[in-house]
Amino acid sequence: MSKPLVRAVMILTWMVMGLVAALIILLIVMFRNWNQPPTFASEESTEETIIASAPAAAPAPPDYWISPDIATVPSDADGDLILYGKDLIAHTSKYLGPKGSVAQISNGLNCQNCHLDAGSKPFGNNYSAVASTYPKFRARSGTEETIPKRINDCFERSLNGQALPNDSKEMQAIVAYINWLGTGVPKGESPKGSGITALAFMDRAADPDIGKVVYVDRCQSCHGADGAGMMNPEGTEYTYPPLWGPHSYNDGAGLFRLSRFAGYVYDNMPLGASHENRQLTPEEAWDVAAFVNSQERPHKNTKADWPDQSKKPVDHPFGPFTDSYPEKQHKYGPFQPIADAHKK
């Protein structure tokens, strides 16, 4: 056999042997992988991927009362009455103020100046518990009161005006709206977020002079240096209500009690504040309440109020009282000694 042929045979032999070796190695690798479980991304990285791709969890619903959706008002005559009632609460002065289109029986304030967002704001002196708790006995009048009676209390005190006839369309509409707001509230219950927050008593009297500083800094830009508020351009209702003077609430109104005014502003003032976003300290709320309620305002004869004098709240500012504390302390505090005396 010639040398070139021998060399070609050897080269071919080495090539075949190389291919066989490669095939053996490939078979070994394949056999090993065949008997092993498949590999995946680590458990930790998988969880991260799932978490990253999952939608954000919905926020937990609040644990306090929320107004029913206005879109659920029925599209019928009953619904029309409810919506008219809402408009009367939001724009009372437009219908029943000094220039009212229906009657002229109030001072120009709107009901929602005290009952925020037409009585639907949580912790904003809302109407959530009215339908569920009325009729009820009220110590201030010494009688069982209906919803219309309670509404007219506001007209005669907070609006410093005259009572609405119970059979008027306006009274019926307001009652219908208030009853609708109470949808779903069990009879006899007052849900969390209803009414006004009760602040703890301070260990001193509320101070009108300190409160004036708070008022100038936090309230004056809306309500004015003279407390007269700001009327809308049409002159039909207040954009920002007067806090004292001839067009404000009279001294028989609930907000003339310091605890009521302080709890109200604590959760709701100045503009933009809320229960979750308070902008005043409790002390500032007490002191600004003292300043506002030390100013001149209309007077109401309240001699018939609280026929059982022992039921008067500690911050009711007018005597006679069943305790020995003076009117000034009943108005400005400190209130805890009075409360302790009433427990004996």
pLDDT 10s digits, 210-231: 999 999 999 999 999 999 999 9
Q: Token digits for 98? A: 């000094």
Q: Could you tell me which residue, 32 or 329, shows the higher pLDDT?
A: 329
- For a pLDDT cut of 90, what percent of the chain falls above it? 81
Determine the structural domain holding residue 279 and report its residue range.
208-343
Number of structural domains (the chain) is 2
What confidence score (pLDDT) does residue 59 get?
76
pTM of this structure? 0.83
When pLDDT is cut at 50, 70 and 90, the band that residue 43 belongs to is very low
Residues 233 and 130 in one domain: no
Q: Could you tell me which residue, 43 or 227, shows the higher pLDDT?
A: 227
Residue 80 located in a structural domain: yes
Give tens-digit pLDDT for 181-196: 999 999 999 999 999 9
Residues 145 and 259 in one domain: no
Give tens-digit pLDDT for 284-302: 999 999 999 999 999 999 9
Tokens 């339908």 belong to which residue? Answer: 131
Please give the Cα distance from 338 to 233 (Å, whole number): 46
Give tens-digit pLDDT for 168-185: 999 999 999 999 999 999
Q: What is the number of alpha carbons within 13 Å of residue 165 lying toward its C-beta?
A: 5
Residue 5 located in a structural domain: no
Q: What is the CATH number of the domain that holds 159?
A: 1.10.760.10
Q: Token digits for 111? A: 């009901």
Residues 134 and 220 in one domain: no
The answer to whether residues 126 and 177 touch, using CB atoms and an 8 Å cutoff, is: no
The answer to whether residues 339 and 314 touch, using CB atoms and an 8 Å cutoff, is: yes
Residues 231 and 334 in one domain: yes
Residues 216 and 331 in one domain: yes
What confidence score (pLDDT) does residue 18 get?
57
Residue 221 located in a structural domain: yes
Give tens-digit pLDDT for 88-131: 999 999 999 999 999 999 999 999 999 999 999 999 999 999 99
Residue 167 located in a structural domain: yes
Residues 106 and 167 in one domain: yes
Cα–Cα distances in angstroms (integers) from residue 246 to residues 91, 212, 228, 242, in the given order? 19, 20, 9, 9
Q: What is the mean pLDDT of residues 141-169?
A: 98
The answer to whether residues 212 and 261 touch, using CB atoms and an 8 Å cutoff, is: no
- For a pLDDT cut of 70, what percent of the chain falls above it? 84
When pLDDT is cut at 50, 70 and 90, the band that residue 60 belongs to is confident
